[in-house]
Structure 1
Amino acid sequence: MMRKRGTGGVIRRSLSAAGVATALTALTASVAPAAPAAPADSTAITLTPRGVPGAGAITGENLGFSVESADLAHGFLTKPRMSQWLKTLGRHGVLRLGGYSMDLVWPTFGAYRDAPTPPEAIGGRVDRSDLIRLKALLRDSGWKATLGVPLKKIIDPSKIKDPTKDPSPPVTLDQAVAEVKAAHEILGDDLLAVEIGNEYDNVTTLTPAEYYATMKKYHAAIKQAVPHANIKVTGPSANTAKTNTQLDGFVSAVQADTGSDPRQMIAEFTNHLYPQSHCGSSNATIAGLLSPDTYVTDRTKLTGIMDITGRLNSGIPAVINESNSASCSGQPGVSDAYATSLWSLDYLLQTAQSRVSQVQFHTSTAAICGDFKARDSKDYPISYRYYGAFCAADQHALDSDRLSAAPLYYGLWAFHQVPEGRFLDVGLPDTALSQLRAYAVEGRNGSLTMVLINIQDSAGDDVTVNLPPAYRGGDAVTLRTSAADGLASVDADAISLGGRTLSDRGVPSGRPGATPVRVSGGRSTITVAPGTAQIITFSPR
């Protein structure tokens, strides 16, 4: 990521960690003793972690949230209650302020400070007080922010796909730049970058080259207004298609612009990705969310992102800056089910392993659980999203600043337990993806963390891991639900991580507890119960 805090996000491999990778690789050529027989209702799987060139990493900066610009305008994001929910997931996350309402808010800065709010600004009004409260949130939580600015009124009106759909307030380029200038003055280095528009290909007919030209126009105007701040922009933030056509065209436009250095202008290559959809007549399912086909499709998408952005050899990170289980606010019974705890843990690991720098999960910040409001309601865009990370039990709880962790949040919390380090290959075949997801992370201190996720509702997995002789044992933290309906349960109160839960203030009931895992003869066999995830850290003697 592009944090302005030195080299803290850079992984440094210690000699002991390098030795782990060497020892693990050597094991692939050895003949190990037979694993114990698995129970009849379990599947036996053997994994041998080994080092691979160019592997992704757990950096401590892999996780963030995407929040509607309207949540900032209405003051929901910056309520003091939000800080603890961010800190529980680590102190190096990023808040992306944008989404669909990026074009529906009214910035009151510069010459527009006292301008009346036009009726099209259904996303609300943003002023300096909002940015001051945002600064307090970022300072307390340790998180950073990217700021989204409108696109639809900045470009040629003939390029808007449907001018009658959610018509945008008449924001000018000068007005948007005045907001960026104020954000820089108030947020300082906590402002990481400025995002130009949201899903340009969904709302405009701009070609990737035309979008790139608009980005350059924005960047030039920002640089003129704040000449010494070195504020960079992000894009293209294209729609959620499974292909990378828009990104490919954008990078081609950047390559063709031989008179510019993208490193001086672009902070991140941003992409959107939703594995499933609830838009129109589409419906998401738990089976689809956890299916091997979805996993492989996402893997292809992520690999494509890195291949395309890698053509520039610029070192500019690639980020999924808007994502979740299903687009169009998620699917009830899927996006708010326990299945998303396992999915989000798996998805974050898959994305980090692919070398994409960060995933920002789109979430609401002032929702009542289950109280969904459609986009055409008078309350839009203040609407509950089934894929939200937290929500209030009722209006009284919301008014009392008490939120509840949704199943999604437990998966993010579980990911936060994985130590920083480089990924190793575990040799899990695609034929096993219907039952298990497996990852290995080589820690800086020589530790080895295995994450084993059983995505089945009934059958268990007995996973045998081949280890170097130096390892004598490990500790396992388990993510599980006690609800009888398992993956389909929407009872977040039944979820625990290492026996611990989260309060309505976002405070864990304690550090997730661990159970010992035996290692014998260079092997360890872990039983992963149905619908659970195990995070096992092996330490050398």
Structure 2
Amino acid sequence: MAETPEEIQLPTRKKKPRKKAAWIVSAGATVAVLAVAAFVVPPMLAGDPIAAESSAAPTAAPTPAKTYAPVTNFYEQAGPPAGSPLTPVAPQTVTVSADKVGTKLSPTQVGLSLEATDLADPLLSGDNETVVARLKGLGKPVLRFGGNAVDRRFFWTSTGEALPSSYAGTKANPARVVGPDDFTRVNGLLEAADAYISLSVNLGDYNPDRAADLAKYGAQIFGERLLAITIGNEPNGFAPNMVLAHALRPNGYTSADFGKEAKVYADAIYKVAPNVPISGPGTYAADWASAWVDLDIKQTKILTFHNYPLTGCTTGLAADQPTMANLLAPDMHDRSINYHKTFVATGNAANMPIWVDETGISACVGGNETTKTHASALWSADYALGSAQVGVSQLDFHSSLITCKGGPPMSAVCFDGEYLKPTGEMQGRANYFGLSMVGTIGGGEFLKLTNDGGGLAYSYALQQADGSTTVVLINQNNPETAAQTKVTLKLPNIPATATMTQMTGTSYDSEDTSKIDGQDAAPGANDKRPAPMDFKPGQQLQTFPLTAGTVTVMNFKY
């Protein structure tokens, strides 16, 4: 998709008839250098300096040095906190290669996972400018509708049926009826925000025909914006368990049992919407992935799974508790990525896309040390990029449309207003801004790099379709106490121009203080951004200081 930067060509001389030039090519790391061998003197001119001089080829004019436009607008980076006891950070060296990793960042990489009942919320409309703006701030996001609601409180009807009495919810999470008019309203939102959608059908209340009816209207109304349909949500939790009291299947319900039911659903959906892929199994159990891969259905399949790394409320393990120490532990980065690699290997072997269509730091109820904090924003950006680099092509952070006041604190977005009385103005929480930094990249192919030093720091690089290089530096050092890091960045080519955007926060545990370029909004357009600090056009090696607790996205054009 992206092009390799063009090699620099030195001028060549014209050849005389019957004479051939011998060329010696030496390939460097980024520039091919051409050395021209001297012409061989013909025998009849040997010993005749006058004749030899007159017959020699003219000397080529030297290549003029390339000139670069002067930089007049540098990024004004926030410095370290005044008066704080600054802890030194080891210098960081990042060397970006022209070689590709083999994975891509999708334009639809980051999205939001919502409850299926949220489809009935009138605030999800193309007329709601704040919702449109927040979605645009994530790039071209996917809205995934599923969650525990889909199998317990979600009732689809295209004929105006009333909500069955067996469907029960709570004041905060009511049971809801959803129909074609809701789809039409949500499609207006998708069009206004240039977003996409993934739907789920109710498997808990077994009814393949009703699921097919939903798929038919979904395909008709959403068209190409409908990326997939999922059959149920977390079927590995359908049997009685300690987390959800409302069991949907008896003890002993297995992946094989789910496969039999899913096939009946898929066959019914295929009759009315054959071109819509089916995603699944949407579980948090890795051993269900192989059963999904082996499931014989007619539609294209997508392998999906869920991951909440710090859900100690269910595992009981100390390393799984949602604490600040666990969130920022170096092995937290590795364990999340390694967990994803298991599914990626299974999906790649079956030539299937791999999605994490429901995720977040923790699925534990209520707030904890990590929720709404700047540390969660730093983690979310790294988690999203690390997942993409190993082969996950979509990541949906589970969120809620309940009010910010009293609503789930892990949600990336929420509405202003008193509890359960939203004003309609959507806000982004800290983790939203971390995801927005990833969404602003807009895609690309991951490049290989080396990262040395920098303390708690992670780096990513991508080649864009226009040949430019995007570098992402995630500095997770403590923004209250860590000194700036001296960064030396070696690029795969010689840059002519560069731009920069940066997310900052005042401390790890500060709530709702994360900002992008000092604003409570997504980054501006790339061509409107200033150049990185100390950027020097025409130099492959760039050096600059980097403030702690930041996510920085730089783009270099050659």
What's the TM-score, normalizing by structure 2?
0.75
Read off the aligned partner of 2:382 and give its amino acid letter: D
Match of 2:5, SS state, is helix
Q: Match for residue 176 of structure 1?
A: 211
Q: Match for residue 11 of structure 2?
A: none
- Given the alignment of the two structures, is residue 488 of structure 1 paired with residue 523 of structure 2, yes or no? no
Q: Deviations over 1:179-211 (max 9, x none)?
A: 222323333333222101111112234333332
How far apart, in 1, do the equivalents of 2:367 and 2:455 lie?
A: 22
Q: Match for residue 78 of structure 2?
A: none
CA contact (8 A) 1:107 1:176 kept: no
How far apart, in 2, do the equivalents of 1:393 and 1:539 lie?
A: 40
Picking from 275, 279, 284, the partner of 1:234 is 279
* Change in CA separation of 1:404 and 1:278 when aligned onto 2, cut-off 3 Å: farther
How far apart, in 1, do the equivalents of 2:193 and 2:490 lie?
A: 40
How far apart, in 2, do the equivalents of 1:53 and 1:440 lie?
A: 10
Match of 2:450, SS state, is coil
Q: Match for residue 334 of structure 2?
A: 296
Q: Match for residue 494 of structure 2?
A: 470
CA contact (8 A) 2:403 2:420 kept: no
Match of 1:422, SS state, is strand
Q: Match for residue 412 of structure 1?
A: 435
* Change in CA separation of 1:414 and 1:216 when aligned onto 2, cut-off 3 Å: same
CA contact (8 A) 1:475 1:517 kept: no
Q: Match for residue 305 of structure 1?
A: 343
* Gapped regions of structure 1 (runs ≥ 5): 1-11, 28-38, 155-171, 255-259, 372-383
Match of 1:13, SS state, is coil
How far apart, in 1, do the equivalents of 2:30 and 2:276 lie?
A: 44
Q: Deviations over 1:28-48 (max 9, x none)?
A: xxxxxxxxxxx9812112221
Aligned residue runs from structure 1 range 13-162, under 5 A: 13-16=2-5, 41-52=88-99, 54-78=101-125, 80-81=127-128, 82-90=131-139, 92-109=140-157, 113-122=160-169, 123-154=175-206
Deviation for aligned residue 1:136 = 1.7
Match of 2:260, SS state, is helix
Deviation for aligned residue 1:521 = 5.7
Match of 2:449, SS state, is coil
CA contact (8 A) 1:73 1:105 kept: no
How far apart, in 2, do the equivalents of 1:278 and 1:75 lie?
A: 35
Match of 1:488, SS state, is coil
How far apart, in 2, do the equivalents of 1:528 and 1:507 lie?
A: 18
Picking from 391, 395, 399, the partner of 1:359 is 395
* Change in CA separation of 1:214 and 1:450 when aligned onto 2, cut-off 3 Å: same
CA contact (8 A) 2:501 2:523 kept: no
Q: Deviations over 1:441-466 (max 9, x none)?
A: 12222322211111111324222122
Q: Match for residue 200 of structure 1?
A: 235
Match of 1:394, SS state, is strand
How far apart, in 2, do the equivalents of 1:51 and 1:508 lie?
A: 27
Match of 1:400, SS state, is strand
Q: Which moved more, 1:278-287 or 1:415-424?
A: 278-287
What's the TM-score, normalizing by structure 1?
0.77
CA contact (8 A) 1:329 1:387 kept: no
Deviation for aligned residue 1:87 = 1.9
Deviation for aligned residue 1:414 = 1.4
How far apart, in 1, do the equivalents of 2:165 and 2:6 lie?
A: 59
* Change in CA separation of 1:24 and 1:495 when aligned onto 2, cut-off 3 Å: farther
CA contact (8 A) 1:275 1:298 kept: yes
- Given the alignment of the two structures, is residue 336 of structure 1 paired with residue 372 of structure 2, yes or no? yes
How far apart, in 2, do the equivalents of 1:461 and 1:192 lie?
A: 42
Q: Deviations over 1:40-81 (max 9, x none)?
A: 812112221124455222231211111001212344544843
Read off the aligned partner of 1:523 and give its amino acid letter: L
Match of 1:246, SS state, is helix
Larger Rg: 2
CA contact (8 A) 1:451 1:534 kept: yes
Q: Which moved more, 1:332-341 or 1:508-517?
A: 508-517
Read off the aligned partner of 1:247 and give its amino acid letter: A
How far apart, in 2, do the equivalents of 1:406 and 1:333 lie?
A: 15
* Gapped regions of structure 2 (runs ≥ 5): 9-26, 33-85, 170-174, 240-251
Picking from 474, 479, 482, the partner of 2:503 is 479
* Change in CA separation of 1:114 and 1:70 when aligned onto 2, cut-off 3 Å: closer
* Change in CA separation of 1:538 and 1:114 when aligned onto 2, cut-off 3 Å: closer
Match of 1:56, SS state, is strand
Deviation for aligned residue 1:386 = 1.3
CA contact (8 A) 2:143 2:198 kept: yes
Q: Match for residue 455 of structure 1?
A: 476
* Change in CA separation of 1:345 and 1:514 when aligned onto 2, cut-off 3 Å: farther
CA contact (8 A) 1:76 1:366 kept: no
How far apart, in 1, do the equivalents of 2:253 and 2:164 lie?
A: 28
Read off the aligned partner of 2:224 and give its amino acid letter: D
CA contact (8 A) 2:304 2:356 kept: yes
How far apart, in 2, do the equivalents of 1:75 and 1:69 lie?
A: 14
How far apart, in 1, do the equivalents of 2:113 and 2:381 lie?
A: 17
CA contact (8 A) 2:100 2:445 kept: no
Q: CA RMSD in A?
A: 3.1
Deviation for aligned residue 1:16 = 1.7
* Change in CA separation of 1:96 and 1:129 when aligned onto 2, cut-off 3 Å: same
* Change in CA separation of 1:79 and 1:117 when aligned onto 2, cut-off 3 Å: farther
How far apart, in 2, do the equivalents of 1:47 and 1:213 lie?
A: 50
CA contact (8 A) 2:187 2:222 kept: yes
Match of 1:346, SS state, is helix
Q: Deviations over 1:268-312 (max 9, x none)?
A: 111111121163567301221222211111121222222111222
How far apart, in 2, do the equivalents of 1:216 and 1:433 lie?
A: 50
